[in-house]
Every structure is written in structure tokens, then in C-alpha cells.
Amino acid sequence: MLRIVPFPHPALRYESRPVAEINDELRANVREMFELMYDARGIGLAANQVALPYRFFVLNLTADPDQPEQERVFINPEIIKRHSSVEDEEGCLSFPGLYAKVRRAKRIKVRWFDLDGNTQEIDAEELESRAIQHETDHLSGRLFIDMLSPLTRNSLNGKIREFETKFRRAQAEGEYPADEEILRQLNAL
């Protein structure tokens, strides 16, 4: 059973491996990730946010489970063009309640495989562009807090330390294995 892992869980910094095969296990993980995302009221969720070391994420910009036609799965995504930039607020399901302004490309061109193995390509802008960039960064072990200005990062350091303290406490209580064991599990998948 999957669950969204909080910062600083080691999976969040793990460089995801490309998906080699689209199979029933992947489809089951995708379905479970959509459910977790909806329960957390999110619009996107990357595989490493549920401690899976693979390059895929799910997205539904409406955050509405009653609009399944808006669901998209991005397998092995690649941003191939970026245009201009804009700063806007972001949050992350691995940092519940933490929001900050992040500068990202205003428009992007992205290519990926869908769940049927077909190549897809779109030009995305606005929220769609931001969400795709955010989730693609996750797959490379980059977090939105890495993109904050030094002043903003400094102002949020206390809240970020609270996430670290809470996670380490959960590890000490046995809710999560030690970091070394988590990394061993990720490498074994």
C-alpha cells in the first residue's frame, strides 16, 4: 500500500529510473497514486513521493476525482523547450501546508509516454506548465524548496526544520525505516 512520504524522506531526493515496461503493476500504482492525490487535495503526484524510484507522475489540474477525463499519466517525461519565466506560488504534498513563490518557465514543450505506451507531446502554459515542471523536478530529486530565493528560503527554514524533526521522530518510533534501509529498498526495486 502506497502513501505520500513527507520531507526529508530519502525517496524525495532519489534520482528516479526510467520506466522500462508498462504493466499491470504500474497501472495499479497509478490508480492508487490518483486516489492518494485526491485525498490530499493535490493536482499532481510523482512516483518518488510514494517511495517508488521510477520516472512517472500523475496529474489532474482540477483535483476532482469526478473528472477522470482530466487525469493524465506522464511516463518518462522530458521537457524539451522552455519559454520565458514567471513567479507564482507553489505547494507540495510532501510539505503539507507550506507554500512559497517559485520562478519557473512560463511555457514549456513536454514529451512523454501515456499508459498505452503512446508518445505524447504538448505545449503547456500557466498552471499546467508549472505542475509539469514541479513533478518532473521531483523525478530528478529536486524539490520546490530548492528553487526558492535565499531570502524566502531563510524565512521558511523554521517550518522546514519542523518537517525534518517530525520525520525523524516518526523514524525513531518505527513508522519509517532508517535512511540507509530506505535507500537499500529503493535500489532493490
CB 109 within 8 Å of CB 123? yes
Q: Any binding-site annotation on 138? A: yes
Does residue 104 come out as left (phi exceeding 0), alpha (psi in the -120 to 50 range) or beta?
beta
Q: Considering 126, 135, 162, 180, which one is annotated as catalytic?
A: 135
Residue 130: C-alpha distances to residues 43, 85, 127 (Å): 11, 10, 5
From CA 155, how far away is CA 150, in angstroms rounded? 9
135 is catalytic: yes
Q: Any binding-site annotation on 83? A: no
3-state secondary structure of 63: coil
Q: Any binding-site annotation on 134? A: yes
CB 51 within 8 Å of CB 182? yes
From CA 132, how far away is CA 138, in angstroms rounded? 10
CB 97 within 8 Å of CB 89? no
3-state secondary structure of 97: coil
- Positions at the binding site: 92, 134, 138
- Positions at the binding site for Fe cation: 92, 134, 138
Which residues form the catalytic set? 135
